Amino acid sequence: MDNMTPIEVLTSHQNPKIKQIIKLRDKRARDKTKKFLIEGFRELSRAIHFGYPIESVFFSREHFLGVNEEALLEKCGKTAMLYELPDYLFEKISYRDRPDGLLAIAPIIGETLSSFEKKVLSSAKDEPLLLLIAESIEKPGNLGSILRSSDAAGVHGVILTDKKTDVFNPNVVRASIGTLFSVPILECSSSDAFSFLEKHKVKLVATTPHTDSLFTEVDLKGPIAIAMGTEQLGLSDEILKRSEIKVKIPMFGIADSLNVAASATLAIYEAVRQRGLAL
């Protein structure tokens, strides 16, 4: 490994770096220090792939799965500090059941409205915009899964309004399998989101049981933003009132709703189906 910063070896539970990592599981510590954790080979690889800046990487070779971790470390080492840990110490800092020996600290960098806009337009090229608006999602696993599906479906951008879950929560990073680095994400107020939609002539699509229009029978080929609401209560009245298109996912069972990530996935993939995008 050339051009790398030297590797420091940590062995003590009392090391301030170790304590800092544990603290960053907590939102207050993330807000205060503007840093967050990226754990896992896949997640860290994606951060690096998308040019996300990494501050320091903690690793334990005993946990490596043998998927080219050394090459990833080499890439990280060009700009980040590297810390080698014995397996027992890595297990202490890991947030996972099955650690794969890689965990990084990175600065929290949110998109501005203009950086988001630029990324969205560049990702859409000449296609009609396909956006997702996630309002007040509470469970990090759901938000992560929504990001993962958005990445897979080629959604051009995700807007988080009235946020209840921090996108830099370790469980969002994990459930998103690192797609939080590939999908442009904007955190903003609902009124800023509405202005963005107006500016780009994007229609707001609300999923709600209170309509007769099945989501598979409504035209979703034009520029749209699909809105998903909180797990408990669904979309706010504000979004429902503002939406130009209302669609329903049919329910044949005893439950009156789907998991929010499942609903989001259905709606965005229906738009993909209708657009007939070639791979």
- Which stretches of the chain bind a copy of itself, using CB under 8 A? 46, 49-50, 141, 145, 148-154, 175, 177-179, 182-183, 216, 249-255, 257-259, 261-262, 265-266, 269, 272-273, 277, 279
**Residue (143 or 227) nearer to a copy of itself, CB:** 143
**Residue (50 or 88) nearer to a copy of itself, CB:** 50
Nearest-approach distance from CB 248 to a copy of itself, in angstroms: 9
Distance CA 262, CA 5 (A): 43
**Residue (16 or 276) nearer to a copy of itself, CB:** 276
Nearest-approach distance from CB 251 to a copy of itself, in angstroms: 5
In 147-201, DSSP assigns E strands to 157-161, 185-188
Residue 153's Cβ-count burial label (10 Å; 0-12, 13-18, 19+) is: buried
Helix (H, G, I), strand (E, B) or coil at 39: strand
Nearest-approach distance from CB 2 to a copy of itself, in angstroms: 28
Give the N- to C-terminal CA distance of the chain in Å, as an integer. 37
Nearest-approach distance from CB 83 to a copy of itself, in angstroms: 27
The arrangement of strands across the sheet holding 7-9 comes to 7-9, 81-84, 56-59, 102-107, 35-39
**Residue (66 or 252) nearer to a copy of itself, CB:** 252
Nearest-approach distance from CB 82 to a copy of itself, in angstroms: 24
**Residue (158 or 186) nearer to a copy of itself, CB:** 158
**Residue (49 or 221) nearer to a copy of itself, CB:** 49
Nearest-approach distance from CB 117 to a copy of itself, in angstroms: 20
Q: Which residues of 67-92 are buried (b: 16+ CB within 10 A; e: fewer)?
A: eebeebbebbbeebbbbbbeeebbee
**Residue (201 or 273) nearer to a copy of itself, CB:** 273
Encoding tokens for residue 153? 């479906």
The arrangement of strands across the sheet holding 245-247 comes to 185-188, 157-161, 130-135, 224-228, 203-207, 245-247
DSSP code of residue 63:
G
CA atoms within 13 A on the CB side of 220: 32
37 torsion bin: left (phi>0), alpha (psi -120 to 50), beta (else):
beta
Pairing of β 35-39 and β 102-107: antiparallel
Nearest-approach distance from CB 253 to a copy of itself, in angstroms: 3
